[in-house]
Structure 1
Amino acid sequence: MIVLKNLTLRRGAKVVLEGASVTLHPGEKVGLVGRNGAGKSSLFALLTGTLHADAGDVELPARWRIAEVAQSMPETRDSATDFVLQGDAPLIEAQAALAQAEASGDGHAIAEAHQRIEEAGGFDARARAQALLMGLGFKPDQLDRPVDSFSGGWRMRLQLARALMCPADLLLLDEPTNHLDLDALVWLESWLKRFEGTMLVISHDREFLDAITRVTLHLEDAQLTRYTGNYTAFEAMRAERMLQQQAAYERQQERMAHLQRFIDRFKAKATKAKQAQSRVKALERMEKLAPVLTSADFTFEFREPESLPNPMLALKDVACGYGDTVIVRNVQRSVLAGQRIGILGANGQGKSTLVKTIARMQPPLAGQITEGKGLAIGYFAQQEMDVLRPDESPLQHMIRLAKEISPQAREQELRDFLGSFRFVGDMASQAVGTMSGGEKARLVLAMLVWQRPNLLLLDEPTNHLDLTTREALSMALNEFEGTVMLVSHDRALLREVCDEFWLVAGGAVQPFDGDLDDYQRWLLDQAKLQREAASSPGPKDGGVPTANRREERKAQAQERQRLAEQARPLKKELAQIDQRLAALGSEKSTVEEALASGTLTPPQLAEHGKRLKAIGDETETLELRWLELSEQIDQLSA
């Protein structure tokens, strides 16, 4: 097990941990959460031995093998498959032992090395490495490409695959989902659920944490607090703890005010001076609980748009891409006032290209985009530096923006505005290029709010945001009166904000007729079809011709779409029944409390009894209907 005892860790002048203690048991899957800058990555470095504690003890089993995702970008001409294979340390060690034994001609050592290779799974290692790569979104023709031919995001996927390749006792994952799209994320969840070792993961994706963790470790104010349960359970338990803490703080404030009144009233009286002095000492000794509201979650809101053109814009025969390369073509879509559109699709299919084209960051290669009168676009770029200047400060960004949008803004007004986004004091004058990803993202959000847009185009806005800032963004988007178009792999944000989806796939943009659960099933179906296509013999081998397989896949997709359409009204009715059952349950509790109070008159008792029976009858009817609908939906899903 992992045991931290009275641990103190400092990074420069900052205290990351102070007297922290916690125990983690073998096989536990733990989510490590806390604000950006709290020290989560420092704790990982402590566990790997990169950092050492200033005080206290760190106990890990001596023989445990630790795997983590390297944060450096690899530069090598090795193929993607070979690079991932090198993550299997036992296999690499066994292969090195074999080479040494063969060089020395030691037959006994050669036999032992072959035995070690077999135990390390060396004979199917290459297939396992390639399965990891394909699960993370690599195509078959990319498996033998050199590592340094991939872009930064894909190289980080290679580092993740390399870490997963290692047969580890302890797996440390620091933001593993940042460079993944939804299909790779769903695959990674499935893989991690099967992982048998101990795992610690840092992530700001609540659905990812909920799916794979059963323990939550909260790092706050240099202390570690262990909660049993996933992130949603942690939120509920922490909220209860905060309410209790707030109540204790308020009681203490009342006690302190009482003591202060006594001191103020009697300290000048000789007969009471001694008692007053003791009250002063009691007041000084009294522990002052930090008020919970001082660490309230970050919040902001978008200002009301000056106008809401309808339609916002219309795309006719639009083609999007770069230079002579067309990525999506023949886009025929309209964007209306008040729509909440989630844009789905795998990496490389053209989601960002579509958004950049609508945002006027690049011209359409063909077709026409007609904008409504008064259209005001607010664009959040996936790479924040596309819209930020590294050598300028947040204040300089806001001054330049204010000159374009509201020339009357004073510098102090801009400083106050930046302060509401946590850019306080010297941070307002700090060069953006020296800031963290989360700080840059908050600055882009601040600039968006100031612009007062009526159409928000958000391309992966949560990549560097912590969970509290993601919650703030979700709340702000839900209250926003304009139109939202959102590209994100954060399923919680997509669920909370979007009520319809577009799918960018195969060079086209089409409405996706379903919810996120339907999309995840569609992704799994597509992956299965790709695996079957890759393993099926071609026409020369007597297999099914490619055209036939394409028609078969098309028919399967149409059938899934038809089943999804049949399931939609059933799901809607099921949701309505859930709401009604919740209301009946609440009313039942109220009626039962009234009956138990002993204060009702005989006519009131009779009336409440009748109502209780009616509630029971309606509940029974609804529950039966709920079971029928659930069975029908399950049959359609199957």
Structure 2
Amino acid sequence: MITLKKLTLRRGPKIILDKASITINPGEKVALVGRNGAGKSTLFRLLDGTLREDGGDFTLPPAWRLAQVAQDMPETEASATRFVMEGDTRWLEAQREVEAAEAGEDGMRMAHAYMALQEVDAHTAEPRAQTLILGLGFKTEQLHQPVNSFSGGWRMRLQLARALMCPSDLLLLDEPTNHLDLDALVWLEAWLQRYDGTLLVISHDRDFLDAVTRVTLHLTGAQLTRYGGNYSTFEDLRAEKLSLQLAAHQKQQDKIAHLQDFINRFKAKASKAKQAQSRVKALERMERIAPVLTEAEFTFEFQEPLNLPNPMLSLRHTDLGYPPSTAEEASLEESSLPRTILHKVSRSVQAGERIGILGANGQGKSTLIKTLAGVLTPLNGEMIQGRGLTLGYFAQQELDVLQPEDTPLAHMIRLAKAAIAQGKGGWVQGREQDLRNYLGSFNFTGEMLAQRVGTLSGGEKARLVLAMIVWQRPNLLLLDEPTNHLDLATREALSVALNEFEGTVLLVSHDRALLRAVCDEFWLVTGGGVQDFDGDLEDYQRFLLEEAKRARAA
């Protein structure tokens, strides 16, 4: 088992753990939760041996094999299959021994090497690797493409597949869902549910945590608290605990006030002095119950749209895709497909609709959103915008709309100037102090206002994009994976804001909690077209699993 006993862990001057104690039993599947910056990833560095404890005791079974997702971007000409196969350290070691024996023409060594290769099930290494790659959303024709030919997000999927390929007793996963579509996410959940080892996972996807974990460790205030149950159970138990703590704190404060009042009234009275002194000692001995200090919540809201054209957008017999000049620049989702991704699409977006866009990886969800946002031009047919349409577009890659060298304040100033030039004022005036105050409502304060966007965290970039969208007072929101890098508190704030938004929403997301909370209907992008999906998200997950089975059989 893993044990931390009165353990102190520092990262620079910051104390991550202060005499914390916890036990994790073999085979447990554990969610590590806490606000951004609490030190969750730093705790992982203790578990993988990168950091050492600063005090107390830390034990991890020495025979345990560790697997985790490498954070570096792989640069290699090796094929996707070979790269993932090398994640099986036993197979790789045996394979290298075979190669060395053959190079030395040592018959006895070759015999032992081939025996070792057989013992590690070398004949299953390639199909095992390819099952992982296909499960994470790659296509059959990509199995033998070089790793360097894939974009960054897809290389990180290969790093995840490589970690899953590694035989392990302890698996550490830090935000494994960030680069996954919903179909790959459902597959990963099923794989992790079958995993026999001990799992620790950091994630901001509550449905994922609920499906995979059965223990929750909460890191807050440099302490670790263990809760039995998944994330939803943890929330319920913690809310109950905070409620009891608040009641106990209030009761103690009343008692303290009563004792202090007695002391103040009778400390100078000789007949009561002894009793007053006993109450002073009682106050000194009393172990104070801390007040409930909940983590600061982040909230925002969309302003009421100035108008609601109806229909907002219409596609009529429209072909969607990439023209020849940009086909090579398209994301991998579309670049491996024909130039025309979606054929003869006829769809209408009505005022007030809340539509979730579903579809397996590579079917063209982002192509649809980019076309509706005006990033891509329809190849054929026509797209008609309603009069007075104001779009708010959240790109899957935040930097698509951000300038890495500019500051958050510079982005807002440029946005305000463009709005004024177009005769739009937004709902906030364009004065610099107004813009500073506005950014402050999205937690951009002080030095952050002048910080280069390229140095911000993923969550901070996403918040900046949300701030820019809200300022423009849109009546149609096109959101392509808006929750990537957002913590649970910010996801909850986004969900609340979208539910109160009076305009129209089209949402692509692998966050099922957000889809479930926001969307009233679903479109399914599949087979080169767009159709209504008659069912809920549970029906869709079953649909994905059936499709995956058919694909594996084929």
Separation in structure 2 between the aligned mates of residue 257 and residue 340 of structure 1, nearest angstrom: 53
Q: Scaled by the length of structure 1, what TM-score is found? A: 0.78
Amino acid paired to 1:195: Y
- In structure 2, relative to structure 1, the CA distance for the partners of 1:407 and 1:226 (3 Å cut) is closer
State the TM-score, normalized to the length of structure 2: 0.90
Aligned AA for 1:81? Answer: T
Partner Cα separation in structure 2 for residue 383 and residue 285 of structure 1? 56
Distance, in Å, in 1 between the alignment partners of 2:167 and 2:224 is: 28
Q: 2:129 — aligned with what? A: 129
- Which position in structure 1 is the counterpart of 2:481? 460
Mapped partners of 1:156, 1:408: distance in 2: 42
Q: Deviation per CA, 1:136-165, whole angstroms, max 9, x where unpaired?
A: 112121111111011111111111111111
What's 1:338 paired with?
A: 352
> 1:195, 1:502 → 2: CA distance?
33
Equivalent-residue separation in structure 2 for 1:458 and 1:441 (angstroms): 11
Indicate how the Cα distance of structure 1 residues 397 and 274 shifts in structure 2: closer, same or farther if over 3 A, else same.
farther
Return the alpha-carbon distance in structure 2 between the equivalents of residues 153 and 359 of structure 1: 22
Q: What amino acid is the match of 2:351?
A: A
Distance 1:347 1:292 in 2: 44
Shift of 1:61: 0.9
Distance 2:410 2:252 in 1: 44
Deviations 1:359-396 (A, max 9, x none): 22333223222222222211111111122222333233
1:420-473 deviations in Å (ceiling 9; x for gaps): 322233223322221110111112222222222221111101110111211121
Give the corresponding residue for 2:501.
480
Per-residue CA deviations over 1:60-107 (Å, capped at 9, x if unaligned) read 111111011111110101111111111110111122233334445555
User: Residue type of the partner of 1:331?
Assistant: V
| Superposed displacement of residue 528, structure 1 | 2.6
The equivalent residue for 1:382 is: 396
Q: Relative to 1, partners in 2 of residues 1:461 and 1:106: Cα closer, same or farther, differing over 3 Å?
A: same
1:574-617 superposed Cα distances (whole Å, 9 cap, x missing partner): xxxxxxxxxxxxxxxxxxxxxxxxxxxxxxxxxxxxxxxxxxxx
Q: Residue by residue, what CA displacement relative to the aligned partner does 1:331-371 show, whole Å, maximum 9, x if unpaired?
A: 21111111110001123222112112212233322322222
- The more displaced of 86-95 and 395-404 is 395-404
- The correspondence for 1:360, drawn from 370, 374, 378, is 374
Contact 2:313/2:348, CA 8 A, preserved across alignment: yes
3-state SS of paired residue (1:124): helix
Measured in 2, the distance between the counterparts of 1:439 and 1:518 equals 34
Change (3 A) 1:360 1:102: closer
Q: CA deviation at 1:275?
A: 8.3
Partners of 1:390 and 1:102 in 2: CA distance: 51
CA distance in 1, matches of 2:391, 2:268: 67
Answer with 182-191 or 74-83: which moved more.
182-191
Secondary structure, aligned partner of 1:334:
strand
Aligned to 2:54: 54
Q: Cα gap change, 1:295/1:272 in structure 2, threshold over 3 Å: closer, same or farther?
A: farther
Match of 1:205 in 2: 205
Which residue pairs with 1:516 in the alignment?
A: 537
Question: Post-superposition shift, 1:111?
Answer: 3.4
Equivalent AA in structure 2 for residue 230 of structure 1: N
Are 2:524 and 1:503 equivalent residues in the alignment?
A: yes
Q: Measure, in 2, the Cα distance between the counterparts of 1:265 and 1:417.
A: 51
Distance 2:481 2:244 in 1: 36
Residues of 1 paired with 2:452 and 2:278: CA distance? Answer: 52
Q: Residue type matched to 1:428 in 2?
A: L
Question: Are the equivalent residues in 1 in contact too, given 2:320–2:380 (CA < 8 A)?
Answer: yes
Q: Is the 8 A contact 2:175 2:201 kept in 1?
A: yes
- Residue number in structure 1 paired with 2:364: 350
Q: C-alpha separation between the residues in 1 aligned to 2:281 and 2:412?
A: 50
Change (3 A) 1:172 1:407: closer
Aligned residues: 533
Whether contact under 8 Å (1:340, 1:483) holds in the other structure is: yes
Partner of 2:13: 13
What code does the residue aligned with 1:292 have? V
Alignment match, 2:340:
326
CA distance in 2, matches of 1:283, 1:395: 51
CA apart distance, 1:246: 1.6
Q: In the alignment, does 2:55 pair up with 1:34?
A: no
Range moving further from structure 2, 45-54 or 252-261: 252-261
Q: Distance in 2 between matches of 1:397 and 1:287?
A: 51
User: SS in structure 1 opposite 2:26?
Assistant: coil
For 1:610-625, what aligned pairs fall within 5 Å after superposition? none
Q: Judging changes above 3 Å, is the alpha-carbon distance between structure 1 residues 421 and 85 closer, same or farther for their aligned structure 2 residues?
A: same
* Structure 1 residues 480 and 290, CA gap change in structure 2 (3 angstroms): farther
Verify the 8 A CA contact 2:428 2:435 in the aligned structure 1.
Answer: no
Secondary structure of 2:356's counterpart equals strand
Per the alignment, residue 161 of structure 2 pairs with 161
In the alignment, the residues of structure 1 paired with residue 521 and residue 541 of structure 2 have an alpha-carbon distance, to the nearest angstrom, of 15
Q: Judging changes above 3 Å, is the alpha-carbon distance between structure 1 residues 5 and 278 closer, same or farther for their aligned structure 2 residues?
A: same
What's the CA shift string for 1:249-294, capped at 9, x where partnerless? 3223334544665677678989989988997897788666554354
Residue 456 (structure 2) aligns with? 435
CA distance in 1 between counterparts of 2:427 and 2:159 reads: 46
**C-alpha distance in structure 1 between counterparts of 2:200 and 2:299, whole Å:** 29
Moved more, 492-501 or 515-524: 515-524
* Distance change >3 Å, CA 272–CA 378, structure 1 → 2: farther
Secondary structure of the corresponding residue to residue 358 of structure 1: helix
Tell me by how many angstroms 1:59 deviates: 0.6
Q: Which has the higher helix share?
A: 1
Match of 2:187 in 1: 187
Aligned-pair distance for 1:169?
A: 0.8
Structure 2 SS opposite 1:157: helix
The farther-off stretch of 404-413 and 79-88 is 404-413
Match of 2:311 in 1: 311
Match of 2:435 among 414, 430, 433: 414
2:447 aligns with: 426
Bigger radius of gyration among the two: 1
CA distance in 1, matches of 2:50, 2:196: 25
For residue 440 of structure 1, give the secondary structure of its aligned residue in structure 2: helix
Task: Provide the aligned C-alpha RMSD in A.
Answer: 2.5
Distance, in Å, in 1 between the alignment partners of 2:515 and 2:195 is 27
- Picking from 471, 492, 496, the partner of 2:492 is 471
Does the 8 A contact of 1:36 with 1:438 survive in 2?
no
Cα distance in structure 2, aligned partners of 1:13 and 1:336: 54
Q: Hey, what's the Cα distance between the residues in 1 that align with 2:259 and 2:435? A: 43
Q: Relative to structure 1, is the Cα distance of residues 374 and 291 closer, same or farther in structure 2, using a 3 angstrom cutoff?
A: farther
Which of 392, 397, 406 is equivalent to 2:411?
A: 397
Where 2:75 maps in the other structure, the secondary structure is coil
For 2:156 and 2:488, locate their aligned partners in 1 and report how far apart those are by CA, in whole Å.
22
Three-state SS of the structure 2 residue aligned to 1:50 is: coil
Q: Distance in 1 between matches of 2:257 and 2:470?
A: 41
Q: Which residue of 2 aligns with 1:605?
A: none
Q: Secondary structure at the match of 1:123?
A: helix
Q: What is the aligned partner in structure 2 of residue 298 from structure 1?
A: 298
Which residue in 2 is equivalent to 1:139?
139
Residue 232 of structure 1: aligned partner: 232
Amino acid of the residue matched to residue 120 of structure 1? Answer: V
Q: Are 2:488 and 1:444 aligned?
A: no
**Aligned pair in 2 of structure 1 residues 479, 408: CA closer, same or farther (>3 Å)?**
closer
Q: For 1:408 and 1:139, how far apart are their aligned partners in 2?
A: 49
Partner of 1:71: 71
Who is 1:575 aligned against?
Answer: none
Give me the identity figure in percent: 69
